[in-house]
């Protein structure tokens, strides 16, 4: 009988959950929100710093003489360009060039990597390892992961380990917090300045205590899934099973997506100059050469005047609810032609606009293109004007500075 597990940080975080609201993530309990207000936690991310338990991520240690060659053939992004002490956001695809999943790969040494993923991939990765001198070990339960995200995160963590002050975007470094060995990566899922602390499970509470002590006076809060998912929409970070679906589990091609359709061709810059074979390469090259992409993933900004007009016309106070809507909302031209849909929608507290991640036909993907967003108000369909824009929707310079 399956049991719901707790993360290595649960002992410290559970007493802080004033709402008693929990969600399940990969068989683990994670807090939906610790405070009664999502916005309180959201602004901890944007104005101070947030502690986010990301331990349920699946983690795979990949080692052996052929580890680099193996990953270069599995991952669509060229892992050979990832140096020791660096990390990459990456994807892996099927033979037809559809995205299976995304994740982050960290390189420790020449043939020593760790790949994180939202869903289980051990059997999938192992099946592709035949003929390689490579070992793939699921270390998901061996490590806790604590994200420290927000503009004060660098100052806090550098007070524990000075080397973090010079850590570059998507780099990682071994460090010690209160005498406990950790790895700190400058990564995260909020689109802000932030870090993730990777620590052996048995040392998690000691590390948590050290971070909390160093955070005193910085308005740091534990933050649940709701606020993190709000920040990721602003950051244009795609979410599996919301903004795209794994090709392994999709029933039809309408549910599948290619890297080009998800706006990820920047990962494939080596295609013109490299003959690197990787799964899906030929299909991706054909799509790019023939221009057969069905969609482009874009950002959308709703005209607030239109939003207010439609709601006020029904005698309603125009809602400014930051709770993400992850159901599809249809997009049309001014003439009523269906041209796409949103996958994630929210009101941004910091930008004070309704924002969305959506898909439109490729010829309508240029920034500034006007579209009509269908909304339901007073049990009737209405449309409000919106403009296409590039992702990310919110991109503070401190994220990479």
* 59-94 tens-digit pLDDT: 999 999 999 999 999 999 999 999 999 999 999 999
The answer to whether residue 1 scores a pLDDT higher than 60 is no
Can you give the pLDDT at residue 395?
Answer: 98
Judgement on whether residues 272 and 321 belong to the same structural domain of the protein:
no
**Residue-level pLDDT at 3:** 81
pLDDT at 112: 98
pLDDT at 353 over 90: yes
Q: Is 205 inside any structural domain?
A: yes
Q: pLDDT at residue 111 above 90?
A: yes
Task: Indicate if 284 and 304 belong to the same structural domain.
Answer: no
Is residue 246 situated within a structural domain?
no
Q: Are 58 and 119 within 8 A, CB to CB?
A: yes
Question: Could you tell me if residue 330 is inside a domain?
Answer: yes
Please tell me whether residues 274 and 300 are part of one structural domain.
no
Same-domain status, 17 and 48: yes
| Domain boundary, last residue among 223, 238, 273 | 223
Does the pLDDT at position 23 exceed 90? Answer: yes
Can you list the alpha helix ranges (DSSP code H) found in 118-266? 122-127, 153-158, 204-214, 225-234
Check which CATH number belongs to the domain holding 88 and give it.
3.30.70.1400
pLDDT digits (tens, 9 = 90+) for 239-281: 999 999 999 999 999 999 999 999 999 999 999 999 999 999 9
Q: Distance between CA atoms of 59 and 121, rounded to whole angstroms?
A: 9
Instruction: Give the residue from 207, 223, 239 where a domain finishes.
Output: 223
| Mean per-residue pLDDT, 23-48 | 96
Domain co-membership, 156 together with 33: yes
Which of 223, 241, 268 is the last residue before a domain boundary?
Answer: 223
Mean pLDDT throughout 172-184?
97
First vs last C-alpha separation in the chain: 48
Whether 376 and 364 map to the same domain: the answer is yes
Number of domains present in the structure of the chain: 3
Here the CATH number for the domain that contains residue 180 is 3.30.1360.120
Same domain, 124 and 146: no
Distance (Å, whole) CA 351 – CA 367: 18
**pLDDT exceeds cutoff 60 at 106:** yes
Could you give the percent of the chain with pLDDT greater than 90? 99
| CATH number, position 312 | 2.40.30.110
Instruction: Tell whether 201 is covered by a domain.
Output: yes
Burial grade of 319 (CB within 10 A; 0-12, 13-18, 19 or more): exposed
- Are 120 and 148 in a shared domain? no
Per-residue pLDDT of 307-339, as tens digits, reads 999 999 999 999 999 999 999 999 999 999 999
Strands (E), 110-238: 112-117, 135-138, 143-149, 172-177, 180-185, 194-200, 220-222
393 and 313 within one domain: yes
- C-alpha torsion 56→101→114→1, nearest 10: 40
**Cβ within 8 Å of residue 38, ≥6 positions away:** 226, 227, 230, 322, 323
Q: Evaluate whether 330 touches 341 at the Cβ level (below 8 Å).
A: yes
Cα-based angle 388, 99, 169 (whole degrees, multiple of 5): 70
Residue 262 lies inside a defined structural domain of this protein: yes
Is a pLDDT exceeding 60 seen at residue 302? yes
Query: What pLDDT is recorded for position 2?
Result: 63
**pLDDT tier at 4, thresholds 50, 70, 90:** confident
Same-domain pairing of 384 and 301: yes
- Looking at the predicted structure, is the pLDDT value of residue 100 above 80? yes
Query: Are 303 and 389 in the same domain?
Result: yes
Same domain, 335 and 195: no
pLDDT of residue 53: 98
pLDDT digits (tens, 9 = 90+) for 209-242: 999 999 999 999 999 999 999 999 999 999 999 9
What is the pTM (predicted TM-score) of this model?
0.96
Burial class (CB in 10 A: 0-12, 13-18, 19+), 378: exposed
247 in a structural domain: no
What is the Cα–Cα distance from 231 to 77, expressed in whole angstroms?
25
Domain containing 363 equals 296-398
Q: Could you give the percent of the chain with pLDDT greater than 70?
A: 100
How high is the pLDDT of residue 24? 94
pLDDT tens digits for 122-159? 999 999 999 999 999 999 999 999 999 999 999 999 99
> Is position 229 within any domain?
no
113 within some domain: yes
């Amino acid at each position: 009988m399956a049991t719901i597990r707790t993360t290595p940080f649960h002992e410290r975080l559970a007493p802080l959950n004033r709402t008693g609201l929990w969600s399940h993530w990969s068989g683990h309990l994670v807090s939906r929100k610790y405070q009664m207000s999502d916005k309180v936690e959201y602004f901890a991310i944007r104005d101070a710093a947030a502690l986010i338990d990301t331990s349920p991520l699946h983690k795979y240690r990949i080692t052996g003489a052929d580890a680099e060659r193996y990953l270069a053939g599995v991952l669509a992004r060229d892992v050979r360009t990832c140096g020791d002490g660096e990390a990459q956001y990456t994807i892996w695809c099927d033979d037809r060039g559809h995205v299976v999943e995304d994740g982050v790969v960290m390189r420790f040494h020449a043939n020593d990597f760790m790949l994180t993923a939202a869903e289980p991939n051990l059997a999938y990765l192992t099946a592709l390892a035949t003929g390689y001198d490579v070992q793939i070990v699921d270390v998901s339960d061996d490590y806790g992961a604590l994200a420290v995200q927000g503009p004060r995160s660098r100052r806090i963590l550098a007070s524990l380990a000075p080397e973090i002050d010079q850590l570059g975007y998507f780099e990682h470094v071994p460090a010690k917090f209160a005498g406990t060995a950790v790895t700190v990566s400058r990564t995260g899922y909020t689109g802000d300045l932030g870090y993730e602390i990777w620590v052996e499970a048995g040392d998690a509470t000691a590390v948590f205590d050290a971070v909390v002590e160093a955070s005193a006076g910085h308005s740091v809060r534990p933050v649940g899934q709701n606020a993190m998912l709000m920040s990721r929409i602003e950051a244009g970070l795609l979410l599996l099973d919301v903004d795209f679906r794994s090709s392994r589990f999709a029933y039809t091609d309408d549910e599948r997506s290619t890297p080009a359709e998800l706006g990820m061709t920047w990962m494939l810059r080596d295609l013109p100059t490299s003959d690197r074979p990787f799964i899906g390469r030929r299909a991706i090259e054909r799509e790019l050469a023939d221009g057969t992409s069905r969609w482009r993933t874009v950002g959308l900004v709703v005209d607030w005047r239109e939003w207010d007009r439609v709601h006020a016309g029904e005698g309603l106070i125009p809602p400014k609810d930051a709770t993400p809507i992850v159901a599809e909302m249809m997009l049309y031209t001014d003439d009523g032609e269906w041209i796409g849909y949103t996958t994630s929608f929210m009101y941004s507290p910091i930008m004070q606009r309704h924002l969305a991640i959506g898909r439109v036909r490729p010829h309508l993907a240029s920034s500034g293109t006007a579209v009509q967003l269908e909304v339901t108000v007073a049990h009737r369909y209405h449309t409000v004007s919106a403009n296409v824009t590039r992702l990310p929707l919110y991109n503070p310079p401190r994220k990479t500075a």
